[in-house]
Amino acid sequence: MGVSWGDPSNPALRDQITTEAFYRLTLVQNFVITPSIQWVKNPAATTAFDDVLTAGIRVRVTF
């Protein structure tokens, strides 16, 4: 789990708080899947939304 806080250098933009939860799942030795959920409170780049929830998946293959 990770949490971050961003203070943009532009005073017109809002402070942003981001939280991410993820789990690393090793299926076999060289293949890893990492599903994640990210929640952004007060996205700095837009005022259209106060909260944004994003789901993602990462895949890593090594040789």
The pLDDT > 90 percentage for the chain reads: 83
| Residue in this structure with the two tokens 């060289």, named with its chain if needed | 30
Task: Output phi, psi for 38, to 5 deg.
Answer: -120, 135
| CA 2 distance to own-chain centroid | 8
pLDDT reported for residue 45:
84
pLDDT reported for residue 46:
85
pLDDT digits (tens, 9 = 90+) for 22-49: 999 999 999 999 999 999 999 998 889 9
pTM (2 d.p.): 0.72
Does the CA dihedral 27-28-29-31 come out positive or negative? negative
